[in-house]
Amino acid sequence: MESRKRKIILSIVTVLMLGGIIWGSIFGIIQDIRIRKDSGEYLQAVLENCSVYQNTYTEAMPQTITHDVIRNFFRSGYDHGGKTPKLLYIGYDGCQAVIPALHFDNEFGAIKETASQGGLYFTIAGGQKKGGQNTSTAPGWAAMFTGVWGTENGVTGNTNVLNEKTRSIIYTLGEQGFVSSFSVSWSVHIKLTYKKEIVAAAKNGLPLTYRLNQSDDGTFASMRARIEAGDDAIFGILECTDHTGHQSGFSRSNPAYVHAFLYGEECASALIDTVKSRPTYDREDWLIIITSDHGGYGLSHGGITIMERLTFFSINKDLSSLLPFYQPVKI
Ligand SMILES: [Zn+2]
């Protein structure tokens, strides 16, 4: 009797397990088909609207170039035409690369303005090889700020602290005496990723200001104040696109996501106007960069889809004079 009972229980468990495996496989296959379809449609939208980009998505540069472009601009040998080098660096967190292409001619036009003087380029997040690192926020910005991927700088996820041997460009500009600031509203930047740098900057008396704000409005106000205060390099990251993507979808057909992008453009445009209205503007050579750390898919990011990996890099200077040697990324 006991063994019969055991047999029945064993049969039920086996059926349930098999059912789970089959359902899991079917779910995985459906998911795979959906991702493939969405990726195909996304690339189609990119191809149809990529004329504003200087490169093709298959020639996208690794996002790590950002660090060297800024470093090269501030190098003593770079020709500023006798003017003082200055930097305005604006990040749109979680903004897909297709969005600036679809809304290039928007009413605020910050990306259009910078790109018209330099160029708009496809860049790639998430490692040198597909799946090399998470398409997450901290790894994205850290790759751009240090010029190396998370395997080297230590930031492979949102819970890591940056290695002290791979300092960010914000820190190294400070070491060179350039008065610089970093304004954000995502607390992880200040409380975790760059916390060792922030301590070292204070200890070494570097001219660096770190501002953790309540919201993008605070980040905008903080960046504007730092431009007016005369900082040499102003770094700031707006969260509007990432927040909205998580709430209602990282998608070109989500009006809220597009609206969030336009808010970023409005802020960036006002910051560029603040730069231009500086009393010493005529004697300053401004490098302006607008870029994103990763894209998104559905309500999230972190994965390897083209919607998450493909990012944009807008610059108001001729990139060829600033671009370092780099390893092309495999799509
Ligand atoms: Zn996010």
Residue 329 belongs to some domain of the structure? no
Same domain, yes or no, for 130 and 200? yes
- The count of structural domains within the chain is 2
Contact in structure between 149 and 125 (CB atoms under 8 Å) = no
Query: What confidence tens digit (pLDDT) does each residue in 162-199 have?
Result: 999 999 999 999 999 999 999 999 999 999 999 999 99
Separation of CA 215 and ligand 1 centre (Å) = 15
Using DSSP's 3-state secondary structure scheme, residue 282 falls into helix
Separation of CA 96 and ligand 1 centre (Å) = 12
Residue 8 belongs to some domain of the structure? yes
Give the domain range for residue 308: 54-321
Give percent of the chain with pLDDT exceeding 90: 87
Separation of CA 37 and ligand 1 centre (Å) = 23
Separation of CA 321 and ligand 1 centre (Å) = 33
Closest CA to 276 of 217, 319, 324, 316: 316
What is the model's pTM? 0.93
Residue 16: pLDDT band (50, 70, 90) is confident
Q: In what order do the strands lie in the sheet with 61-62?
A: 61-62, 119-124, 310-315, 284-291, 84-92, 233-238, 180-184, 208-212
Structure tokens at 29: 């296959």
Residue 277 belongs to some domain of the structure? yes
Distance between CA atoms of residues 63 and 83, nearest Å = 28
Using DSSP's 3-state secondary structure scheme, residue 41 falls into helix
Residue 7 has pLDDT above 90, yes or no: no
Separation of CA 246 and ligand 1 centre (Å) = 6
Separation of CA 155 and ligand 1 centre (Å) = 15
- Beta strands 284-291 and 84-92: pairing type? parallel
Distance between CA atoms of residues 53 and 104, nearest Å = 10
For position 243, which CATH number holds? 3.40.720.10
Separation of CA 141 and ligand 1 centre (Å) = 12
